[in-house]
Structure 1
Amino acid sequence: MIELLSPSTVDATARVLTDHGFSVFGISTTALTRSVCDDAVRENGPVALIARVGDEVRGVAVAIVDAPRYWKKFMFRHPLFACRVLGKRNKSSRNDAERLAAGVDAEGDAAAFAVNWNESSPHVARVSLIVVSSSSRGCGLGAEMYEAMFDHLRARGVVTVLARIGAANTASLQLHRKTGWTLGRRGARWQALKEL
């Protein structure tokens, strides 16, 4: 059963996300994961869906509408986290500029970059994570979660969804192709774009 994250499922979902290395700006902590889950059960928070079998959470998908605005507000509420992010981002900004200057690789579609990853708009959502437990992989659960997520995002006025995928994550690339995303690659990272 696929459902929106609720207060009764926050703890189990936070554990699954932590176990799968959920991170924000390259930082992964249990408290951070719990804070994002708590936000997801609030009105206009991130869209977080879980796939459950009985009491066990088998999959989680999280998308954030107008992500730059959300993260600015999040950082204001969590100033110590903001300091960690700023320190980390200053170290990596030169590498990001060099990587982006490389352009789109031949196997990718430049249309995947038609919307800037950092665009702030209530009509654009970014997928933070989609994960399916190893015991449930290969049975279409990821595609089902995406379809449910797209319905929730459309209801909030979202027309464009973005995702980033590591080049080595072949299962995720396959899922995004199967669910109709446009994919383009820069360096070691793919960007996926889905128009709703």
Structure 2
Amino acid sequence: MKIRINYYLIILLFSVSFTFCTDNKSNQENKKNNNKVFSPEIIHLKNTYYSKFYFFKNFQENETNIKFLFDFINKNNGHLDIVSDENSIRFEDGYSVDDFNSIRFAFARDGETLHNTYIRVNFLNSEKINFQEKHEKGKAKLFANFNILNLNILQNFLDYAKENELKKSQETYNYELYNKDKIKKAVLYYHNFGKWFEIDIL
């Protein structure tokens, strides 16, 4: 009888140990997957008469992905539309966007060039932010109370420059965006009296 009890105790201890090890391994794997950082990737979907469409796989709203996005568009000419959900768009007799709740980006160009005429990076709910302005010869410095660049701040910056008239008074004019620590985060380079611009995310 004593031997039988000891035998059951050994089996019980083994089962508990096995279950603990399995759960611990599973938790470590889940934690690893949750902390996994996916590499950004932009994949071509389709060219239409109007635009070239791409899918930004694994887009995350952070400075690394935003910089990756603009490095990409600065190397690809023509009108570009980039979606974060490849299922949000259908190509039937042109194209149509089915999901207006997903993040997407639009880059209007002067023909098949890299000359930006309009950029939209925030189609979702936007929040107006105020800039402190400092004007110097040939440029405007804009300061805002933020630390890390996001799409809402960037869209506010783009909209400010679009509506500002100073760029039309000179052949070239720049707009610089600074965070609360006075670190430069982005620059718009306007040309031909404000007709088109280039952009750098720093």
Q: Which has the higher helix share?
A: 1
TM-score (norm 1): 0.27
Q: Which has the higher strand share?
A: 2
Q: Pick the structure with greater CA Rg.
A: 2
